[in-house]
Amino acid sequence: MAKENQANQAPNHATIGSGNHIAINNSDSPFFLLNDDHPSLILVSHPLSGRNYNTWNREMSMALTTKNKHGFVDNSIQCPHLDDLFFGAWLRCNSMVISWIFNSVDKEIANSLMYLLTAYERWIDSRNRFHHSNAQRIFQVKKLLSGLRR
């Protein structure tokens, strides 16, 4: 009877690329979710308010990397086709990352991200709106430093 049950169970892995098997229930898989990974989880100590983008981005990047989910925001884990074995797992993890992003930004910012479909789109939209280069300030500081003499 036990052998019969095992034979009827579908394997929890799929083939990617050139015959590599990635198990969804393997903690190394980007599709693996822990029992304590839930949509209301808060990953950063200070939500994105606009002015703190660089700090927020760094903190979120580290948190997503530790959860093996950074590929959902840097687009290295792209949405598979509907008939792909990983589509459901991708959709579930993408939704989880979207929830984590929502929980890490101010309410006004979250409302403006509401209708973007993927975690990647939300990540890029936040970057485009809030990332500011410090190139001009760096130039000014270097100019001041070059004028200093002993």
What is the reported pLDDT for 26? 84
Residue 25, exposed/middle/buried by CB under 10 A (0-12, 13-18, 19+)? exposed
What is the reported pLDDT for 88? 95
Q: What's this model's pTM, rounded to 2 decimal places? A: 0.74
Mean of pLDDT over the chain: 84
What is the reported pLDDT for 142? 77
What is the reported pLDDT for 62? 97
Distance (Å, whole) CA 121 – CA 138: 30
Segments of the chain scoring below 50 in pLDDT: 1-21
Q: Where are the domains of the chain?
A: 39-147
Residue type, 45: S
What is the reported pLDDT for 1? 46
Query: What is the percentage of the chain residues whose pLDDT exceeds 70?
Result: 79
What is the reported pLDDT for 27? 84
What is the reported pLDDT for 50? 85
Q: Are 89 and 31 in contact (CB under 8 A)?
A: yes
What is the reported pLDDT for 33? 93
For the chain, the three-class secondary structure string (H helix, E strand, C coil) is CHHHHHHHCCCCEEEECCCEEEECCCCCCCCCCCCCCCCCCCCCCCCECCCCHHHHHHHHHHHHHHCCCHHHCCCCCCCCCCCCCCHHHHHHHHHHHHHHHHCCECHHHHHHHCCCCCHHHHHHHHHHHHCCCCHHHHHHHHHHHHHCCC
Q: What is the pLDDT of residues 117-146, one digit of tens each?
A: 999 999 999 999 998 766 666 677 777 888
What is the reported pLDDT for 137? 65
